[in-house]
Homo-oligomer: A and B are copies of this chain.
Amino acid sequence: MSRTLTYREALNDALREELDRDQRVLLLGEDIGAFDGAFRVTKGLLADYGEERVRDTPSAPGTIVGMGVGAAIVGLRPVVELMTITAALRALDQIAVSAAQARFQSGGQLSVPLVLRAPQGGGHQLGPTHSHSLEAMLLAIPGLLVATPSTPADAKGLLKSAIRSDDPVFVIEHESLYGTKGEIPEGEHLVPFGEAVVRRPGRDLTILGISRGALTALDAADVLEREHGVSAEVVDPRTLRPLDLPTILESVKRTNRLLIVEEGWPQGGVGATIAALVLEQAFDFLDGPVLRVAGAEAPVGYSRVLERAAQASSREVAQAALTALGR
């Protein structure tokens, strides 16, 4: 049995279930209450759970995250929404130091079961300050778990697992996926961290897609099959820390070729990291270089044309795959 929900509804579902299950869970964020959240993810939660548990905050990212850290240390399980991932840049000291290092600094005395949520990426011309993709910066931080759900089912299952995690977690949502629909298993649906999924089996090469990149990879795989008779395997890591490297390596050792699709900036990116890891651990299995199709080395422009130019398109991914195959 399953239901069809949007990514947005799936997240709302996850929050409701965890709010029902665990009194320690409470939500903090700008306009998450009366306004239902900038992207309507917290729709109806203020009415149903009250202002003790669903708290509207001012636009002060550092302080909101810091309060989440303090509340988590003293026994709660706060879920903090930031209106845009760019706001996380203002709170990065609280994220990278207070949240991610408290356990370490205290020699294990403190625990920070905090969840941060924010939308990233482009798609609706939000322009240079509301279209960043920052998974790589967050992945860099030891002590911080990072999830990048690309489907409604994963959005629900990963957010629920995140809320139950004793480590701080950043759940990176994608601004242009909120409206996408998908099947959600009935009842308790948890997606464990560190478990990649093969979205489409294939023989000729592996395409690894991060966040929305997983969907771009699937589209590209269709094009490759239809127009070029190429069989591409599509892998979605789903969480970046922990990263399910074994599943990625298994796939690469079969197909001997890897292409990584991400929307973030190419330098210091997730693609570069995984390319380096695979290179180090499966060099002898690689028939060619690991290729990356990343976001542009530029801010995301407002115009539809410039926004698209800043993102990885399925056409480009298909083209890169053919390059990888020496075609």
The chain A residues found within 8 Å of chain B, CB to CB, are: 62, 86-87, 89-90, 92-93, 96-97, 100-101, 104-105, 127-129, 132, 136-137, 139-143, 240-241, 264-273, 275-277, 279-281, 283, 288-292, 296-299, 301
Assess A299 versus B104: contact at CB under 8 Å? Given A89-B92, A289-B279.
yes
Bound form: Cα–Cα A297–B272 in Å: 17
Residue of B nearest to A87 (CB): B93
19 contacts between A and B (CB under 8 A): A86-B93, A86-B97, A89-B97, A96-B132, A101-B299, A104-B128, A104-B301, A142-B265, A143-B299, A240-B267, A241-B267, A271-B276, A272-B275, A272-B276, A275-B279, A276-B279, A276-B290, A276-B292, A281-B289
Bound form: Cα–Cα A291–B279 in Å: 9
For residue A302, give the distance in angstroms from its CB to the closest CB of chain B.
9
Assess A267 versus B139: contact at CB under 8 Å? Given A86-B93, A89-B97, A128-B105.
yes
Residue of B nearest to A310 (CB): B142
- Tell whether, in the assembled complex, residue B140 and residue A265 are in contact, meaning their CB atoms are under 8 Å apart: yes
- Tell whether, in the assembled complex, residue A265 and residue B141 are in contact, meaning their CB atoms are under 8 Å apart: yes
Chain B residues, CB < 8 A from A143: 298-299
- Tell whether, in the assembled complex, residue A140 and residue B136 are in contact, meaning their CB atoms are under 8 Å apart: yes
Bound form: Cα–Cα A179–B86 in Å: 37
- Tell whether, in the assembled complex, residue B268 and residue A140 are in contact, meaning their CB atoms are under 8 Å apart: yes
For residue A202, give the distance in angstroms from its CB to the closest CB of chain B.
22
Chain B residues, CB < 8 A from A105: 127-129, 299
Chain B residues, CB < 8 A from A298: 104, 142-143
For residue A204, give the distance in angstroms from its CB to the closest CB of chain B.
18
- Tell whether, in the assembled complex, residue B289 and residue A283 are in contact, meaning their CB atoms are under 8 Å apart: yes
For residue A313, give the distance in angstroms from its CB to the closest CB of chain B.
19
- Tell whether, in the assembled complex, residue A292 and residue B280 are in contact, meaning their CB atoms are under 8 Å apart: yes
- Tell whether, in the assembled complex, residue A268 and residue B128 are in contact, meaning their CB atoms are under 8 Å apart: no
Bound form: Cα–Cα A208–B86 in Å: 32
Q: Could you say which of B87, B139, B267, B290 contacts A273, with CB atoms under 8 Å apart?
A: B267
For residue A120, give the distance in angstroms from its CB to the closest CB of chain B.
13
Assess A137 versus B137: contact at CB under 8 Å? Given A101-B128, A268-B273.
yes
For residue A119, give the distance in angstroms from its CB to the closest CB of chain B.
16
Bound form: Cα–Cα A269–B137 in Å: 9
Bound form: Cα–Cα A275–B286 in Å: 15
Bound form: Cα–Cα A229–B202 in Å: 46
- Tell whether, in the assembled complex, residue B142 and residue A297 are in contact, meaning their CB atoms are under 8 Å apart: yes
Chain B residues, CB < 8 A from A270: 268
Residue of B nearest to A295 (CB): B142
- Tell whether, in the assembled complex, residue B104 and residue A90 are in contact, meaning their CB atoms are under 8 Å apart: no
Bound form: Cα–Cα A275–B86 in Å: 28
User: In the complex, which of the residues A101, A240, A289 has the most CB atoms of chain B within 10 Å of its own CB atom?
Assistant: A289
Q: Given known contacts A90-B93, A266-B273, what 18 new A-B pairs fall within 8 Å (CB)? A: A89-B93, A89-B96, A89-B97, A92-B92, A100-B299, A104-B301, A105-B299, A137-B140, A140-B265, A240-B267, A268-B270, A268-B272, A268-B273, A269-B273, A271-B276, A275-B279, A280-B289, A283-B289
